[in-house]
Amino acid sequence: MKTCTVAMCAESGEGRRQSPAFILATRPALLHWINDHELEELRETLARGNLPADFLWKLKRLAGGDLNHRFIERNCRQFAALLLATEAGEFRDLSPAERDRLLRVLAYVRKEDDARPDTAPEGLTDDQQEVRAVLVELGGLLTAFKSWRLRHQVPGMWDEAGPQSED
């Protein structure tokens, strides 16, 4: 049996190849590290239109890190934006199961002391795996959200910025 990264296929059994999506979908998830209290706290904070302060601080730290850290940060911000747009009633294509999946991944990344403590060497590898799994599992939804966001939110961002002077 050969295992590979998300960008490659893996061999399984007698010369059969499995897709990256299959590999991610069949591996054990680490989300059981999240308890109901952590999930509910994140859900309530998002319902108020925010992310928890400790999570925002962690995302800021990740943004200043290496490429893997920025990968986690950027995608978590996208997941949060999708959940916030859904919470505001603006984006309506998110199912309850998809909402729960995104909440669990954000709660997992938020948690410092998870399956592999974030302070340990390579401590964010598990967080990166969970983020990557969501990207594969919910790729169509995330693409639809990006398109929706470009049509509905970005024009408003440009309007708020006002006219730019050329110096």
CB 131 within 8 A of CB 157: no
Residues 6+ apart with CB under 8 A from 23: 3, 4, 6, 10
Domain-embedded: residue 159: no
pLDDT at 9 over 50: no
State residue 21's pLDDT score: 52
Residue 145 — very low, low, confident or very high, per pLDDT cuts 50/70/90?
very high
Chain mean pLDDT for the chain: 83
Phi, psi of 51 (to 5 degrees): -110, 150
Instruction: State the DSSP code for 93.
Output: -
Return the H-helix or E-strand segment holding 53: helix 53-63
Domain-embedded: residue 5: no
Domain-embedded: residue 41: yes
Query: In terms of residue numbers, what domain contains 139?
Result: 30-154
Give the residues across from 17 on adjacent strands: 11
pTM reported for the whole predicted model? 0.77
Instruction: State the DSSP code for 92.
Output: -
Tell me how many domains the chain contains. 1
CB 82 within 8 A of CB 100: no
Pair type for strands 10-12 and 16-18: antiparallel
